[in-house]
Structure 1
Amino acid sequence: MSPESRRIARVLLDSPLPQLDRLFDYALPAELGEVDRGVRVRVPLRTAGRVIDGYIVDIDTEDDADRPLSEVESVVSPVPVLPERLHTLARRVADRAAGSASDVLRLVIPKRQVRVEKAWTADASAVVPSVDALAAAAEITGTYDGLDEVLDEGGRAAVEAIPQLSDDVPGWTRLLGATAARMLAAGKSSILVVPDHRDLDRLLAALASLVPAEAIVRHDSRQTNPDRYRAFLRTLEDAPCIVVGNRSAVYAPVRAGLVAIWDDGDSLLGEPLAPYVHARDAALVRRELEGSALLFAGHTRTTEVERLVEIGWLRDVRAARRILPRVLLSTPQEMEQPTAQRMPSSAFLAARNAAAEGPVLIQVSRPGFAPSLVCAECRAPARCAHCGGPLGARHRGAVPVCGWCGRGASSWSCPVCSSTKVRLASSGSERTADELGRAFPGVRVIVADGAHPVERVGGKPALVVATRGAEPLAEGGYRAVVLLDGPRMLQAPDLRIGESCLRWWSNAAALAAPGAPIHLVGVNGAVAKALATWNHSAYARSELESRAPLHMPPTTRVALVQGSVPAVGRALAALDELSLPPDAVLGPVPVDSDDVPPRVRALVRFDYGAGPRVATALRAAVVAEAVSGRRARGRATKSTLSVRLDILDPEL
């Protein structure tokens, strides 16, 4: 380096402000010594007059030593926590979602733990599964046509998991575990992403019998900060491992040979924080960058995955010998019987007979005793006088309680007819358990919901009343499954409620013992037919066909633009040069809020090919709004304009 040159660091600032989402040049003073790319640093921010954290993305030299540059103040840690591959992934994901790279990195890089960092040494040695475990893994993957080929060639596939238990664990856990074990034996890392902690614990239990414990890296929000940082440091090492975690695990900085996502239709895989990127979309971007094998596995098929299958981007992988659950639909004649109430005679008899042999699963839509009440005279919904929330009952004869503010309504009166009496309008898990306990004397009744979590039940006779997604595992599988409240579930105001219901019911059916009857009560039509025939891909295709004329996702991408009236107007005007279709923009319409000045929102629909141009234009509008707002107010503030891409359930 010549006397006139100097070292410079290009730093990505850890800031949510959109105008700071770029690399800044800083001079590297000689007293800092050798500095690696990817380390945490603290740098001055002249416009704000303060010091801010950041990451060194690149180090270079320049001959123009006279250019005024601020200096890096200090190196926070010598550990390169931002390798180039992670920065590239975060940058690409943020650009696709019109967001900031620092927001993506905040999901994957934990806060520094000094003690953990000092004790850490990057000397993990490679481990491989045992011969017996590899044989078991090969047997599992071999039951699916073409799966081994996809794994070996780094392909892409949508896998329909066999809906049954295997050694009292869900079969899908052994499927994902087998694919990861195969990759580990080949010296490659894997990332297995699941929706919630219940799925995570079950997958970890399945992996324990297939791979050595030291090869498993858990990525979980329930971990303590030291444990999470220790796990993150392990993913920075070159030794292959298996990362198992929730949605943010998809960004783990391993050199992945496989990324697998289970049940991508679960809403928990959608990131609730900016830039709101679904784990499925992040996995697609990662596969494009790294060329790793990619699997979307599930009992059902989302419309997003089915679209990729239809265009030939994903391979449809199914078991060579399909084992279908025995699904029975209630007939209209049964539901018209006055004695049927919630459970028709066929389902009741099946539950009674099965309860004599082992556990029976009863799936309901809501937790609690009576989630909603109505006026006993005019049937008008009972609402809280303070906030307008729905009133419910915690047990029979209890004082009604508001589901929103929690206030009791001991002196409630109907605003329509002035009656002071209420009646139960719906049955939650506890009320259903109470009713079934009287109908099945001598049979143990177990409630499993958010307030009463149950992970596993034995093989003795019992009735398990569970809300959707909270169903425990049963020893030997459930001897019968009854799916109640189907019509109520389908009435939810959601674009993809049919898709969601099919997923809830299918996941519950997969917990049944082989040959056990599965009764879907009160539902007919396309969703019921898809469950009875176990042809989920056909239902997903029909959903795609119905959404295409309406230009609804996933046939097109949808962006939500929200902010003040002038800001939204300027953002939409920036799209005029992109030659979008005349009906691409819906709105703007007022936002139902008390904000001053008033806010509006609009939807922008566009093809996938126009995605980069639309994302760039909307991001530029957000940055311009933030900069103009800062100049007007004289200080750094959050932008009054917000943009969110890939809305799954667009609604104005």
Structure 2
Amino acid sequence: MSTAAAGRDAVTDPAGRSPAPHQSVARVLPLLGLSHLDRAFDYRVDSDQDIEARPGVRVRVRFAGRLVDGFLLERRDDTDHAGTLAWLDRVVSPEPVLTPEIARLARATADRYAGSMGDVLRLAIPPRHARTESAEPKVDESVGVDAGATAGVEVDLSAWDAYDHADRFAESVVAGAFPRAVWQAAPGEDWPARLAELAAVTVRGGRGVVVVVPDQRDLDRVAAATEALLGDRVVALSAGLGPSARYRRWLRALRGHSPVVIGTRSAVFAPVPDVGLVVIWDDGDPSMYEPRSPYPHPREVGVLRSHGSRCGLLIGGFARTAEAHTLVTAGWAHDLLPRRTIVRDRTPRVTALSDEDRRVARDPLAMSARIPGLAFDAARAALAADTPVLFSVPRRGYLPSLLCARCREPARCRHCHGPLQSAGPDQPLTCRWCGRADPGFRCAHCGSTTVRAGATGARRTAEELGRAFPGVPVLTSGGDRIADSTEPGARVVVATPGAEPWVAGGYGAAVLLDTWAQLDRAELRAGEDAVRRWLNTAALVRGHRDGGTMVIVADAGLPVVQAVIRWDPVGFAEREVLQRAELGFPPAVTMAAVDGDAAAVVTFTDTLELPPGAERLGPVALPPGARPPAGSENRDDVERVLVRVDRRHGRELAAALQTAQAIRGAHHDGLSLRVQVDPPDVG
């Protein structure tokens, strides 16, 4: 007698349920949120559930006396469980929302980031909306991407001729191969249009496309360009959508109505049938860092999906991260680089001025706006040519940082010792941490009652520029008021990095102020992030042949500044990779951060069985800017231990971390702890 038959014969049910006639065992992944229970469990399927209990559907099962949600992974005839199986409580929905491809990807992502598959599925699959699910039209599961629906669409790929080997990349995708490349976009490139063209030719070849961008502004631009070619066969997914709208669009992709999905972070898991190309744009943007466990980066998930699903992968941007460059140097991906003649023609004229030699103009208006003379002249020339000027300021607000006017010590709150700021010329000083007003400031070091600006925010800069350029409209973009675009013509735009409005035809000039705020950060990615932000800004400026100029108020001898002047993101990324390899930082090594209460960190690291060659660093205090783990926000004893190992043994380290988390989960110590592989803020 088979195991399945024995199991059926042994089943007795007071409710009179009988096992399904075939494959009566359902392997279910309960969503328990516990590391030591991150595995599938077997349940009995009764005959009434036989049709609806298909692999991929949402189910409810009883676990340890309570009903929990889960996903049915597979149906089978036998079971490894020695006792009597519990019954599958119910099928929540007959919709198979977990496809085999996404299930494999979720498992691979969990193993890569030392997390649980259940946590990954919470990122990958949106919550169910029953009314939306029943209202959306279904399609035949055997139908893939309908290439005939786009047969009449003409796609012009001639703009890709500016990049070596781009034609072969597109041909390989259409042919069903899985090419992988890192695309270095040329200055001023209309990158949404280029991605839309690749998406259109991929769909015409009968395969689907997933495009991941950092934020809503980028999503809107790519979606508009792609919809112009493919119409309603494109869906856009973002966190800003309501539950119903997001689920409706996600179902359209799952059911094959929309073979192109464009979205932010979690869209990399989109269930596009027969995906042929995954695109990750600007992988170095901080918005790409997932704040929820197990903290997967879309670039790495895209690598896993390309490998597991045998689909193409394109990682693009104006800059290049060390991680993306490592894929090229390892031979796993190829370069898509613009020809140098194209770069020279499209790059604005970039000039750098040392902070030590500001050369402020003699004009008192320029002096009040703290603009170096050369930058002031460049801005005035651009406005005279009826083109907009962009001023990039790294801090939002009015005066986000204040110093004592006498001793230059940071102005601190008398209640929590947080930094004081000024929200406006007539506003009292307030604390950036606790929000309390401090109208009677007195320096704790020298007793002075006056303050001076430590850093100037975008609002104060806009006020100063309004006086420096009388009669010229001034637009501010940053914080909770971000302008997506602005009109051409003479105007001044003051924006924080990443909030620069797009303008048709490009800016006539750009000035990067207070660059020290980006360069002086004691962080691993400070230089890389500065190059990325500055190149993104330069890409908005007209080429030098059209009069475009950019002034960087920083030392011209710095490697980050030279990378922008020469437009050499590849060379800078190569330098970063070599330096990190020498110092033992990612991506040369796999590094894990264990953050939490001091007692929890010690207990966890004592349990951890490290692979050979692994090195443990710490414990130390959390680096500045790092979020404490949930439950430890108000604790003073939050610590961090770093563990690093050669990248060849990265999977072994992740497995060891998973095992240690399972042991900790079984003990329920109640202390706060966070385990993150390759964290962005290693200091």
Alignment equivalent of 1:82, drawn from 76, 93, 98 = 98
Q: CA deviation at 1:28?
A: 1.0
Partner residue, 1:535: 568
Q: Which moved more, 1:197-206 or 1:125-134?
A: 125-134
Q: Does the 8 Å contact 2:211/2:279 carry over to 1?
A: yes
| C-alpha separation in 2, matches of 1:164 and 1:103 | 39
Partner residue, 1:430: 459
Query: What are the residue-to-residue correspondences of 1:51-200 with 2, within 5 Å?
Result: 51-62=67-78, 67-123=83-139, 126=146, 133-136=153-156, 138-151=157-170, 152=172, 153-164=177-188, 171-200=190-219
Partner residue, 2:506: 477
Do the aligned partners of residues 628 and 268 (structure 1) sit closer, same or farther apart at CA in structure 2, a change above 3 Å counting?
same
Alignment equivalent of 2:31, drawn from 2, 9, 14 = 14
| Residue aligned with 1:350, SS | helix
Runs of 4+, deviation exceeding 4 Å: 1-4, 63-66, 127-133, 331-334, 338-341, 563-571, 573-577, 590-600, 638-641
Q: Does the 8 Å contact 1:459/1:476 carry over to 2?
A: yes
Partner residue, 1:329: 351
Gaps of 5+ in 1: 166-170, 631-637
1:382-415 residue CA offsets vs partner (Å, 9 max, x unmatched): 1111222211112224311222222211111111
Q: CA deviation at 1:276?
A: 0.5
Do the aligned partners of residues 63 and 536 (structure 1) sit closer, same or farther apart at CA in structure 2, a change above 3 Å counting?
closer
Alignment equivalent of 2:538, drawn from 503, 509, 513 = 509
Partner residue, 1:355: 383
Q: Does the 8 Å contact 1:359/1:460 carry over to 2?
A: yes
Q: Which moved more, 1:240-249 or 1:65-74?
A: 65-74
CA RMSD, Structure 1 to Structure 2 (Å): 2.5
| C-alpha separation in 1, matches of 2:464 and 2:635 | 50
Q: Does the 8 Å contact 2:178/2:306 carry over to 1?
A: no
Do the aligned partners of residues 81 and 567 (structure 1) sit closer, same or farther apart at CA in structure 2, a change above 3 Å counting?
same
Q: CA deviation at 1:338?
A: 5.7
| C-alpha separation in 2, matches of 1:3 and 1:627 | 32
Do the aligned partners of residues 641 and 368 (structure 1) sit closer, same or farther apart at CA in structure 2, a change above 3 Å counting?
closer
Q: Does the 8 Å contact 1:275/1:644 carry over to 2?
A: yes
Do the aligned partners of residues 416 and 568 (structure 1) sit closer, same or farther apart at CA in structure 2, a change above 3 Å counting?
closer
| C-alpha separation in 1, matches of 2:120 and 2:633 | 31
Amino acid at match of 1:620: T
1:123-180 residue CA offsets vs partner (Å, 9 max, x unmatched): 28836676785332x2233432212322313211000112215xxxxx1111111111
| C-alpha separation in 1, matches of 2:37 and 2:355 | 65
Q: Does the 8 Å contact 2:393/2:458 carry over to 1?
A: yes
Alignment equivalent of 1:264, drawn from 262, 283, 296 = 283
Do the aligned partners of residues 379 and 566 (structure 1) sit closer, same or farther apart at CA in structure 2, a change above 3 Å counting?
closer
Alignment equivalent of 2:618, drawn from 587, 590, 593 = 587
Do the aligned partners of residues 111 and 418 (structure 1) sit closer, same or farther apart at CA in structure 2, a change above 3 Å counting?
same
Do the aligned partners of residues 460 and 625 (structure 1) sit closer, same or farther apart at CA in structure 2, a change above 3 Å counting?
same
Query: What are the residue-to-residue correspondences of 1:248-259 with 2, within 5 Å?
Result: 248-254=266-272, 255-259=274-278
Q: CA deviation at 1:25?
A: 0.7
Q: CA deviation at 1:576?
A: 4.9
Q: CA deviation at 1:471?
A: 0.6
Q: Does the 8 Å contact 1:187/1:240 carry over to 2?
A: no
Alignment equivalent of 2:645, drawn from 606, 609, 613 = 606
Amino acid at match of 2:565: A
Q: Does the 8 Å contact 2:234/2:258 carry over to 1?
A: no
Count the aligned residue pairs.
Answer: 633
| C-alpha separation in 2, matches of 1:127 and 1:63 | 42
| Residue aligned with 2:668, SS | helix
Q: Does the 8 Å contact 2:232/2:258 carry over to 1?
A: no
Q: Which moved more, 1:621-630 or 1:154-163?
A: 621-630
Q: TM-score of the superposition, structure 2-length normalised?
A: 0.88
Q: Determine whether 1:297 maps to 2:321.
A: no
Q: CA deviation at 1:66?
A: 7.8
1:301-347 residue CA offsets vs partner (Å, 9 max, x unmatched): 10111111112111011124523412322344992536586422111
| C-alpha separation in 1, matches of 2:539 and 2:152 | 27
Alignment equivalent of 1:487, drawn from 509, 516, 522 = 516
Q: CA deviation at 1:577?
A: 6.1
1:458-496 residue CA offsets vs partner (Å, 9 max, x unmatched): 122101111111111113211111111112221122211
| C-alpha separation in 2, matches of 1:132 and 1:361 | 41
Query: What are the residue-to-residue correspondences of 1:373-392 with 2, within 5 Å?
Result: 373-392=402-421
| Residue aligned with 1:481, SS | strand
Q: Does the 8 Å contact 1:19/1:626 carry over to 2?
A: yes
Q: CA deviation at 1:242?
A: 0.6
| C-alpha separation in 2, matches of 1:420 and 1:503 | 40
Partner residue, 2:582: 549
| Residue aligned with 2:554, SS | coil
Partner residue, 1:635: none
Q: Does the 8 Å contact 1:162/1:323 carry over to 2?
A: yes
Q: CA deviation at 1:17?
A: 1.2
| Residue aligned with 1:443, SS | coil
Do the aligned partners of residues 96 and 130 (structure 1) sit closer, same or farther apart at CA in structure 2, a change above 3 Å counting?
closer
| C-alpha separation in 2, matches of 1:380 and 1:269 | 35
| C-alpha separation in 1, matches of 2:516 and 2:500 | 20
Partner residue, 2:255: 237
| C-alpha separation in 1, matches of 2:420 and 2:599 | 40
Q: Does the 8 Å contact 2:150/2:203 carry over to 1?
A: no
Partner residue, 1:30: 47
Amino acid at match of 1:180: A
| C-alpha separation in 2, matches of 1:63 and 1:531 | 61
| C-alpha separation in 2, matches of 1:283 and 1:38 | 22
| Residue aligned with 1:425, SS | strand
Q: CA deviation at 1:449?
A: 1.2
Q: Does the 8 Å contact 1:141/1:179 carry over to 2?
A: no
Amino acid at match of 2:676: R
Q: Determine whether 1:561 maps to 2:579.
A: no
Q: Does the 8 Å contact 1:553/1:648 carry over to 2?
A: no
Q: CA deviation at 1:421?
A: 1.3
| Residue aligned with 1:335, SS | coil
Q: CA deviation at 1:641?
A: 4.6
Amino acid at match of 2:116: S
Partner residue, 1:168: none
Q: CA deviation at 1:566?
A: 6.4
| C-alpha separation in 1, matches of 2:389 and 2:300 | 37
Partner residue, 2:371: 343
| C-alpha separation in 1, matches of 2:234 and 2:682 | 38
Amino acid at match of 1:475: A
Do the aligned partners of residues 128 and 448 (structure 1) sit closer, same or farther apart at CA in structure 2, a change above 3 Å counting?
farther
Q: CA deviation at 1:597?
A: 12
Do the aligned partners of residues 439 and 600 (structure 1) sit closer, same or farther apart at CA in structure 2, a change above 3 Å counting?
closer
Partner residue, 2:14: none
Do the aligned partners of residues 519 and 58 (structure 1) sit closer, same or farther apart at CA in structure 2, a change above 3 Å counting?
same
| Residue aligned with 2:439, SS | coil
Gaps of 5+ in 2: 9-18, 623-627
1:225-245 residue CA offsets vs partner (Å, 9 max, x unmatched): 111111121222245611000
Q: Determine whether 1:407 maps to 2:436.
A: yes
1:361-381 residue CA offsets vs partner (Å, 9 max, x unmatched): 111111111111111222221
Amino acid at match of 1:23: A
Q: Does the 8 Å contact 1:363/1:483 carry over to 2?
A: yes
| C-alpha separation in 2, matches of 1:508 and 1:63 | 59
Do the aligned partners of residues 416 and 629 (structure 1) sit closer, same or farther apart at CA in structure 2, a change above 3 Å counting?
same
| C-alpha separation in 2, matches of 1:140 and 1:552 | 38
Do the aligned partners of residues 361 and 565 (structure 1) sit closer, same or farther apart at CA in structure 2, a change above 3 Å counting?
closer
